[in-house]
Amino acid sequence: MSVAHISAALNRIQPSATLAMTARVSAMKAQGIDVIGLSSGEPDFDTPDFVKEAAIAAIRSGQTKYTLVDGTVVLKEAIRNKFKRDNGLDYGLDQITVNVGGKHTLFNAIVASVDAGDEVIIPAPYWVSYPDIVAFAGGVPVVIAAGAAQNYKITPEQLDAAITPRTRWLILNSPSNPSGAAYAPDELKALGEVLRRHPHVMLMADDMYEHVWYANFSFATVAQICPDLYDRTLTVNGCSKAYAMTGWRIGYAGGPAWLIKAMGKLQSQSTSNPCSIAQAAATAALGGPQGFLDERNAAFKKRRDMVVAMLNDAPGLVCPLPEGAFYVYPDASGCMGKKTPDGMVIDSDEKLIDYFLDTARVAAVPGAAFGLSPAFRVSYATSDVILKDACIRIQQACAALK
């Protein structure tokens, strides 16, 4: 046996670039190198205590066995209430699925519904895993570029032009990883109008950052804004980002019963149920007090404002002000073609990021991983002091390019 036996489906995908950069940073730190990691996509806050207590209670009360494949009834009820409370959406229990993280939710949905040659529209910059999951399923990612000049958001005209008879899905992630851009209700309405004209297209709303947004913006999701699209929308969410529960691995979705059932069938032959203890924790998180979200957002907003201001002061970078999530995505066109003090020409965002890592000891993720270059992603889910140091290092590294 050899690598020649690796399946064609697996050969169509790449390892996650963000996880690879985070691993590189860990390896450098283990060697004692003073490197600041801005590549990781997780909140630096801790899981709330009341959530941890619910998990401990679940262990003590023996909730340590298999559960229903796609989620316990109590968790599905908590999710149903969450959709009603936060989004004004009514989903029956047979319209709700619970999975091993949001990535698994998206994976199940795509693998359950995409056939060879089916097209999936993905606005760029995109979350790294979308094109790979689509390619794994045999589908064709159709990427729409939305650069800094349009605040990293696609227009209705771009969407209309990308739709073909083979289009199966549009994936819309708002607020976005990696850009932080989020669609306002009227922008969602305008995109919904295009979808209305193409009844064969389904919509995957990735609302993973629903609770991370700032003043002058108000979160909305498509099925709520365009009720007539409810039947063809999968509203995806999870506990990872809002409740600082990345390690617990709970994602979920509400959508048409036929699709939810198909996703459950796939899950029954792969992971079975998500961890029973994590499901108890998620039930507590979704049903418990939500006030801490505002406090955390206030901290994130302060960091966003500082990082955007400092990166805009770095020669060659232009950093739009994002509405939400905990990322910024500076455009690095102004650095391209310049030379480092060692004489290396910066002709790609990958080279720029290597230069930052080698000389400034700051790790970000190159835009190439997100399908829109030259740019890079900075995660500001770390302390104000570390962020300030990192931004000074980036400013100095940019200033040294000639």
Chain residues in the site for ligand PLP (CB under 6 A): 41, 101-103, 127, 173, 177, 206, 208, 238, 240, 246, 251
User: Residue 41 or 141: which CB sits closer to ligand PLP?
Assistant: 41
Question: Which residues make Cβ contacts (< 8 Å) with residue 59, sequence separation at least 6?
Answer: 277
- Tell me how far, at minimum, the Cβ of 177 lies from ligand PLP, in Å: 3
263 vs 254: CA distance, rounded Å = 11
User: Residue 221 or 340: which CB sits closer to ligand PLP?
Assistant: 221
- Tell me how far, at minimum, the Cβ of 204 lies from ligand PLP, in Å: 10
- Tell me how far, at minimum, the Cβ of 325 lies from ligand PLP, in Å: 8
Three-state secondary structure readout of 286-315: HHCCCCHHHHHHHHHHHHHHHHHHHHHCCC
User: Residue 148 or 171: which CB sits closer to ligand PLP?
Assistant: 171
User: Residue 174 or 276: which CB sits closer to ligand PLP?
Assistant: 174
Task: Select the residue whose beta carbon is closest to ligand PLP and give its number.
Answer: 101
- Tell me how far, at minimum, the Cβ of 112 lies from ligand PLP, in Å: 17
- Tell me how far, at minimum, the Cβ of 155 lies from ligand PLP, in Å: 21
- Tell me how far, at minimum, the Cβ of 329 lies from ligand PLP, in Å: 13
User: Residue 101 or 264: which CB sits closer to ligand PLP?
Assistant: 101
User: Residue 235 or 340: which CB sits closer to ligand PLP?
Assistant: 235
